[in-house]
Amino acid sequence: MQKISIVGAGRVGETTAQILAEEQLCREIALYDVREDVPEGVALDIFQTAPFFEFDCRLSGSNDPAIMAGSDLVIITAGFPRKPGMSRSDVLAANVKIIDEVTDHLMAHAPDTTVLVVSNPVDTLTYRVAQRTGWPRSRVFGQAGVLDASRMAAFIAEETGFSALDITTIVLGGHGDTMVPMPRYCTINGVPVSNFIPPERLDAIIERTRKGGAEILALRKNSSAYDAPAAAVAAMVDAMAHNRRRLMPCVALLEGEYGEHGIAMGVPCVLDESGIAQVVELDLNERERADFASSVAAVRADIGRLAELALDAG
């Protein structure tokens, strides 16, 4: 990619920019933030690590959204983080206003870009960006399942002692307490994970995966996770930048897959240079279908709130 813009120069945005620069996934990174001087400071700080990490990606920052012009990809990390005890849905009212403003800037300054949404609640806000822009789902999608799957893989590695490099996991559904980890599709170097972990321990890992973000938030106290989310974003960008056609769980608009329309949910997707090239439909068993339906209901409840929030704003 030639240019990637990151909206929000907070911890997730800054860490994402650092990883993208180190891995040289583009020639230019632009950081946009409404806080005066902050994006410039973040860009300068990261660029001064170039001699150590040996990259020549250029970084810049601005309070002017015009900095996003010409972007191949815009990554939206801006928004109010949740506090301990809050769910991701609890920040919807505040963050939808930010997302709407950012989306208007995108349409004005980067009308041909692809958009990767990270801000929470990511399923609902991805839907909002797609609804507001009218752009195809190949160009508007969200990051959640890659992070959730990496958390599950880390927990399995911790439980079994096996290398995390050999563990493959997948998580479907909304990015929240109703997410659907899929142990039936989890393997350790091709061997089903159930060969190594008894059912009760696997159930505990599933529940810990659902609460993975809350666990970190409770431990950090003054910050939600940012290292793993940024790494997840970088993995998705790498798949697109190198046209790898990787199968990754992404927040995608559903157009009949899994029997759903008019919703954005975490599902397996093929990522290539065009963005989402394909949504992959898995064969779900009875329990998985029920769990997925519960997750759909939770996301639809938040999408239903969007109309109420718009009326309140009016």
Q: pLDDT (tens digit, 9 = 90+) per residue, 38-50?
A: 999 999 999 999 9
What band does 314 get if pLDDT is binned at 50, 70 and 90?
Answer: very low
Alpha helices (H) along the chain: 11-22, 38-47, 50-53, 92-109, 122-133, 145-160, 199-210, 212-220, 227-241, 286-313
Which of 264, 292, 283, 17 minimizes the C-alpha distance to 139? 264
Residue 94: CB atoms within 10 A of its CB come to 11
Mean pLDDT, residues 98-116: 97
How many other β-carbons are positioned within 10 Å of the β-carbon of residue 232? 23
Instruction: Show the domains of the chain with their CATH numbers.
Output: 3-142 (3.40.50.720), 145-304 (3.90.110.10)
- What's the confidence (pLDDT) of residue 131? 95
Indicate if the pLDDT at residue 237 is higher than 60: yes
Q: Provide the angle, in degrees to the nearest 10, between the axes of the packed helices 92-109 and 122-133.
A: 40
The predicted model gives 152-181 an average pLDDT of: 96
Q: Please compute the mean of the pLDDT values over residues 286-300 and round it to a whole number.
A: 96
The mean pLDDT of 244-257, rounded to a whole number, is 97
Q: Is the pLDDT of residue 126 over 90?
A: yes
pLDDT tens digit string along 64-88? 999 999 999 999 999 987 677 666 6
Mean pLDDT of 158-186: 96
Give the rounded percent of residues in the chain with a pLDDT score beyond 90: 89
Q: Which two tokens stand for residue 286?
A: 């009875």
pLDDT at 86: 66
**Is the pLDDT confidence value at 139 over 90?**
yes
**Mean pLDDT of the region 284-292:** 96
pLDDT of 267 strictly over 50: yes
SS3 30: strand
Asked whether residue 309 carries a pLDDT value surpassing 90, the answer given is no
What does pLDDT average to over the chain?
Answer: 94
Peptide bond into 121 cis (omega under 30): yes
Q: Is residue 313 predicted with pLDDT exceeding 60?
A: no
Q: What number is the average pLDDT over the span 82-111?
A: 86
Catalytic site residue from 105, 109, 175, 242: 175
Residue matched to tokens 């939808």:
96
DSSP 8-state symbol, 226: -
Instruction: For residues 188-203, give the mean pLDDT.
Output: 97
Using alpha carbons, select from 269, 267, 272 the residue that is nearest to residue 239: 272
Catalytic: 105?
A: no
Q: Is the pLDDT of residue 310 over 90?
A: no
Q: What is the pLDDT of residue 80?
A: 80
Place of tokens 């993975």: 212
Question: What are the C-alpha distances in Å from 200 to residues 18, 162, 194, 222, 292?
Answer: 39, 19, 11, 33, 21
Task: Give the pLDDT confidence of 156-170 residue by residue, as tens digits.
Answer: 999 999 999 999 999
The residue-averaged pLDDT of 110-124 equals: 96
Distance CA 146, CA 232 (A): 6
